[in-house]
Amino acid sequence: MQSSGQTSAKMKQPENLENSISQYLNQHSLSVPFNDLLSLLPSLLKEARYSEIWGIDLANGRRDHVHAILAKFLIKASVMPSLLVERTQWALLKTLKLRALVKPAKFAFSNAPQLAEFVYITRYQNLHVMWILLDEKKLKRYRHLVPRLNSQNQLMNIAQGFVETLVDILFKAASTFSELQAAVVIDCYPHQYEKGRKIEHGYRTVLRNGINDLIPRLVSGYPELLSRLFIINPCPNVFCTLPLPDHVLQCTWILGEPKEVAQHLGDEVPPRYGGRGKSLSENDCLADERSKGIIALGSNVSLQEPIPVGQAIAHSSEQWSSDLDTPEKEIKIPFSFSERIGFPTFILDPKDLETFPELYPGKGGARIVPIADGMLVKYGPGVRLAEAEALHLASTSTTIVTPQLIAAYILEDVCYIIMSYEEGAVLSDLWERTTQEQQDKIVSQLRDAVNQMRAIKGDYIGGIGHVACQDPIFDAGWAPQGCVYGPYESEEAFNEGIVKAMEDRFAPKPGEQASTSSIPVSEYLTRQTLRSLKGHEIVFAHGDLSPDNIIVRPDYTIVIVDWGLAGFWPEYWEYFRATVTIPITEDWDLVVEKFVPPYYIESTIMSNTAAVIWN
């Protein structure tokens, strides 16, 4: 009889949830716009060419689940009643397009079972609670076992995977609309933080930046999911700058002690949090998922099928490496990625990219294509993983504002770099229309950026990742097939590499051997002068700080873009490259001196060398 009663209750659940949604919409005068939105859904899905949100198929999924999702997006947009249906439609379309690109999925514990002790989901009466145990010391220890913990982008995707898991649990358990919300408790361990000390770099910065990037995605993609947020003993360096919108701040509590949680959630919480209930592990809704992860950890991942291009990738970098070392595994698509950046969270379909319009058509070389709201991909001739490595180094080791690196990989010998699209004015278009105060602000930021880059020392000259140099000085003309320049272990070797580039600009005549007696005196003197450059430090440099590569936001914050020529270079290189660019004013060289230390002699020698090579 008990089993029959449970079955009956399950059969009634959709009707109860449906009635609960209708009741809520009626009470808040949202029934009419909801019905309008429902009638527009087929055309919306057709435009998006995708229909999944939170694991629910909006085209063919359960009626009550589809209605619940539409209602949540409608409620979020209702804070501004004007154009309510249109705003909701736009938010849904934006979310669908982003999910079509990223394809977020529930977190798979088989990929990183070590993370199981950081997240729990419990249920007390009709309220689900997600517990996040932010133990920085353990996270630091585990990041050596789970490389994805070293990247703020990967951290963001791990966190979103847990949110997807939470949503799945909510929809499976909910019988009323109000149960499709959850509370979140973030338990920060106070002994991990050094009060009064401002830390800008290191792993805490990775955590902070990851959380900063995650919040906008959660706010826009998971509306009306959060009922209450409790943060216990927050570290100011991590939480004080979070971009929490007002409606989230209104339901946020900052608690000084873990035991204060019981005052808000009741006595069923564990003793650590002031209650008398079971421990988190004993009351965990993720228990089944964890057990699957432990079982799967010892199994082999089959890569007999090609990489699912355009779909989310679940393999960790360790799994990928071990599979590549297994002789019987067959990889049908040549693929590689940077271990420092981490395994890409998704891979684009090259055929789809052919249909996307270019951001800078007719420019030649690399293609830059917008692929979603706020995202673009750079790929094609001249694009290397070294550019993504440089962008990663700048964003993780400095406070320089750069595009957010989302993913980078090489697929079938083509490098793809997926990053955020930065809106603003190009400095070359803006400079002469700015006031002296605005110019001073821009120059100050550039000076700080250059100083931070110069503080990062190198032990070779070349692209990040110990790869060949990339600069126009090495691309002047003919060169032997497969010829690369660098990396160089010393400045002397680098100078000889440039001399070699001089020699390679003309194809040799049959039977002819290079001879210093056969070159003009002026070129001989240029070579010898170049060889006199010695004793310079090797530092990290952008390599192309032209006004075209500096985006200025409305508040005059600058964003430095296009890191394709960045790498470890002699300390004079940044000044030389910044002064040989096309000036935007007659006195631009004088402006450059304000943010890059000048090297007049070295720059003159390199300018003469470049003139010989290109002439």
Tell the burial category of 397 from Cβ atoms under 10 Å away from its Cβ (0-12, 13-18, 19+).
Answer: middle
CATH among 1.10.3470, 2.20.28, 3.90.1200, 3.30.980 for 425-508+515-614: 3.90.1200
Tell the burial category of 93 from Cβ atoms under 10 Å away from its Cβ (0-12, 13-18, 19+).
Answer: middle
User: Which pLDDT score is estimated for 517?
Assistant: 55
Whether the Cβ atoms of residue 334 and residue 370 lie closer than 8 Å to each other = no
H or E segment at 369?
strand 367-372
Mean pLDDT of 12-22: 73
Contacts of range 330-336, beta carbons closer than 8 Å, 24 or more positions apart: 330/303, 330/304, 331/303, 331/307, 332/305, 332/306, 332/307, 333/306, 333/307, 333/309, 333/411, 333/412, 334/410, 334/411, 334/412, 334/413, 335/307, 335/409, 335/410, 335/411, 335/412, 336/385, 336/409, 336/410
CA distance 387 to 112: 28
Range of lowest pLDDT (318-332, 562-576, 583-597): 318-332
CA separation, residue 556 to residues 416, 442, 444, 449, 592 (Å): 30, 7, 11, 15, 18
Q: Percentage of the chain with pLDDT > 90?
A: 42
Mean pLDDT of 45-62: 91
**SS3 state of residue 568:** strand
Domain at 113-294: CATH architecture: 3-Layer(aba) Sandwich (3.40)
Per-residue pLDDT tens digits for 132-145: 887 766 665 555 44
Residue 327 pLDDT exceeds 50 = no
pTM higher than 0.75: no
CA distance 296 to 274: 36
Our separate counts of H helices and E strands in the chain read 21, 17
**What DSSP assignment string belongs to 85-148?**
HHHHHHHHHHHHHHHHHH------TTT-GGGGGGEEEEEETTEEEEEEEE-HHHHHHHTTT-GG
User: Which pLDDT score is estimated for 83?
Assistant: 83
CA distance 499 to 492: 11
Residue 348 pLDDT exceeds 80 = yes
Going from N- to C-terminal start, the domains of the chain cover 2-102, 113-294, 300-420, 425-508+515-614
Question: For residue 78, which phi and psi values (nearest 5 degrees)?
Answer: -70, -10
Query: For residue 64, which of 173, 163, 171, 169 has the smallest C-alpha distance?
Result: 171
User: Which pLDDT score is estimated for 269?
Assistant: 92
127-134 and 182-188 beta bridge pairing: parallel
Q: How many CB atoms lie within 10 A of CB 480?
A: 8
**End-to-end CA, the chain:** 93
Please state, rounded to an integer, the average pLDDT across all residues of the chain.
80
- The more confidently predicted of residues 217 and 572 is 572
- The more confidently predicted of residues 327 and 380 is 380
Residue 235 pLDDT exceeds 50 = yes
User: Which pLDDT score is estimated for 591?
Assistant: 93
Whether the Cβ atoms of residue 353 and residue 377 lie closer than 8 Å to each other = yes
Per-residue pLDDT tens digits for 404-456: 998 899 998 899 999 998 989 999 989 989 999 999 999 999 999 999 999 99
Q: Is-cis flag, bond preceding 487, omega within 30?
A: yes
Tell the burial category of 357 from Cβ atoms under 10 Å away from its Cβ (0-12, 13-18, 19+).
Answer: exposed
CA distance 519 to 466: 33
User: Which pLDDT score is estimated for 515?
Assistant: 53
**SS3 state of residue 183:** strand
Q: Tell me the residue type at 427.
A: L
Q: Which two tokens stand for residue 96?
A: 């669908």
Q: Tell me the residue type at 82.
A: S
Residue 578 pLDDT exceeds 90 = yes
Query: For residue 405, which of 423, 393, 413 has the smallest C-alpha distance?
Result: 393
Q: How many CB atoms lie within 10 A of CB 344?
A: 21
Mean pLDDT of 338-345: 82
Q: Which two tokens stand for residue 109?
A: 């514990």
User: Which pLDDT score is estimated for 207?
Assistant: 59
CA separation, residue 70 to residues 23, 64, 91, 178, 226 (Å): 15, 10, 10, 14, 16
**What DSSP assignment string belongs to 517-567?**
GGS-HHHHHHHHHHHT---PPEEEE-S---GGGEEE-TTS-EEE---TT-E
Residue 387 pLDDT exceeds 60 = yes
Query: For residue 261, which of 192, 335, 356, 184 has the smallest C-alpha distance?
Result: 184
